[in-house]
Homo-oligomer: A and B are copies of this chain.
Amino acid sequence: MLDVQSEQDHRNLPLDRVGIKKMKYPIALRGKEKGTQHTIAEVTMSVDLPLHFRGTHMSRFVEVLHSHAHNMELKNLKTILSDMKQKLSASRAHLDLEFPYTIEKMAPVTGILSYMVIPCQFNATLDETDRFELVYGAKVPIQTVCPCSKAISSRGAHNQRANVTILLISKKIIWIEDIVKIAEQGASSPVFPLLKREDEKFVTENGYDHAKFVEDVARDIGVVLRESESVSWYSVEVSSMESIHDHDAFAYLEGGQRT
């Protein structure tokens, strides 16, 4: 059977990336506490395509994904990228996963348990010299209470749900559970799926007592990451769904070395 993809190409133009996108696939990975977690990821996989080949063999991405989906640990990603490079005769390989990950939350006063689902991402690359780069992180919902609104108003203060997106390159693996904690410690307050009245009182007052701009939250988290010995590079974006506007306010910083 003809192999059109393997035809010679004469346009003299290599492709930076060819691959598959918007691929939903079940994956399993280990959590910090409760053993293996099963979830469904949106997967992007790609390799470079040298200038003399016309096309890549798209089905091989799915074969590699299928053979590793049961073990999507951070520490297994380099092996997957090596497989991609080999099976697709490529010099660089990229793997991006976005997936929801479940953590347990305990209400701050009553201690009632519930689950919160955190959007996470892994972005891994293996280059032509077999250098491996892994950026990973999570988007953590929090509450921000506006210090300006609090200072100028004789009562109340506008507040809102916000999202903190932390991305890291790290020397040793930092659990998603711990990234969530770093984000929540920088917030006016964490948010919770389940709050009884006593909890709601606590969250309201605690948030009000820790009024913070998105700028403050980004910096307080930035300070923690700057001082962490495990973290080589980091970015923090805080985006708040302003309750007095129909748009969001955001702050972004990055620091460290991408190498």
Contact = CB atoms under 8 A, between A and B. Distances in A.
Query: Do most interface residues of chain A lie in helix, strand or loop, or is the interface mixed?
Result: mixed
Interface stretch (A74-82, A130-138, A215-223): A215-223
A165 interface: no
A192 B13 contact: no
Nearest to A218: B15
Contacts of A219: 9, 11, 13, 15
Interface in A240-259: 241-255
A155 interface: yes
A68 interface: no
B245 A193 contact: yes
Given A23-B247, A148-B4, A246-B116, A201 B153 contact: yes
Contact of A1 (B197, B203, B246, B253): B197
Contacts of A216: 54-55
Contact of A253 (B14, B203, B207): B14
Given A159-B156, A159-B243, A197 B148 contact: yes
State the number of copies, please.
Answer: 4
Contact of A248 (B20, B55, B198): B20
A26 B213 contact: no
A214 B1 contact: no
A8 interface: no
A182 B27 CA distance: 27
A230 interface: no
Contacts of A226: 13
A69 B115 contact: yes
Given A19-B250, A114-B62, A205-B154, A148 B40 contact: no
Contacts of A1: 152, 197-198, 201
Contacts of A223: 11, 13
